[in-house]
Structure 1
Amino acid sequence: MSAELQRIFDADTRPTIVCLCGSSRFYDEFQQANYDLTMAGEIVLSIGFCPHARAQHRHGDGVSHDSVEEVALDELHKRKIDLADYIYVLDVNGYVGESTKSEIAYASRRGIPVDYLSQQQRS
């Protein structure tokens, strides 16, 4: 067990909660960030559906959603942002789509800090 995870078991405090935001086309990056942040002792909230990952990872096979469901899923993700201490934007190759821009704006309006994968990669 990592030192960060052990610290959580030893502490009486709630771990930091992060909500991952970004394009669902970056399935592998979502999985890597989820693993890295979990192993760092954080509670990770993520997208629930990656339609772009079907071919390679079989995620979402047989599942589709229409525009009404897409709006509902976007709203559900904003409720996850409400629970988060900060959001972590997976801006792979600098890409931030319209949905992700709306999530960043939503978090900012609520005073929720925003971190970016691209900033971490430069450090």
Structure 2
Amino acid sequence: MPERPEIVCLCGSMQFAEDMRLVSQSLTLAGIIVLMPTEIDIPITDEQKAVLGELHLRRIDLADRVEVVNRGEHYGESTLREIAHAEAAGKPVTFVGPAWGRQ
């Protein structure tokens, strides 16, 4: 394993949370540190939702690269914002999931 493991941030709709968990497991077993959105199973306020969104942008800042987990080619507003943030920061962005043959 390298001195400092690669750090990858997973992005995508939380409707694909199970897919994200599978990708996270695969990357972790390959020696990669994985950052991903936090699943919240209780009702939250709009303010809390905004805080979670900002926290995820900071995860992207910490990462070496971003992997977007999706089952197709439609991306919601939050995911598009995350992709734009990563690209603006010069982070490589790749897309993973059943449509891309890796999960």
Q: TM-score, normalised by structure 2?
A: 0.90
Q: What are structure 2's unaligned runs of at least 5 residues?
A: none
Pair 1:74-2:86 in alignment: no
- Secondary structure at 2:34's aligned position in 1? strand
- Choose which of 10, 30, 38 in structure 1 pairs with 2:28: 38
Within 5 Å, which residues of 2 pair with 1:75-94? Answer: 75-94=54-73
Moved over 3 A (4+): none
Q: Distance in 1 between the 2:84 and 2:12 partners?
A: 13
Higher Cα radius of gyration: 1
RMSD (CA atoms): 1.6
Which amino acid in structure 2 is aligned with residue 90 of structure 1? Answer: V
Q: Distance in 2 between the 1:114 and 1:39 partners?
A: 21
Within 5 Å, which residues of 2 pair with 1:1-123? Answer: 8=1, 11=2, 13-50=3-40, 60=41, 63-117=42-96, 120-121=100-101
Q: What are structure 1's unaligned runs of at least 5 residues?
A: 1-7, 51-59
Greater strand content: 2
| Higher mean C-alpha deviation, range 19-28 or range 63-72 | 63-72
Q: TM-score, normalised by structure 1?
A: 0.76
Superimposed CA distance per residue, residues 68-95 of structure 1 (whole angstroms, 9 cap, x where no aligned partner): 1111100000000000000000121223
Aligned residue pairs total 101
Identity value in percent: 40
Distance apart, 1:120 and its partner CA: 4.2
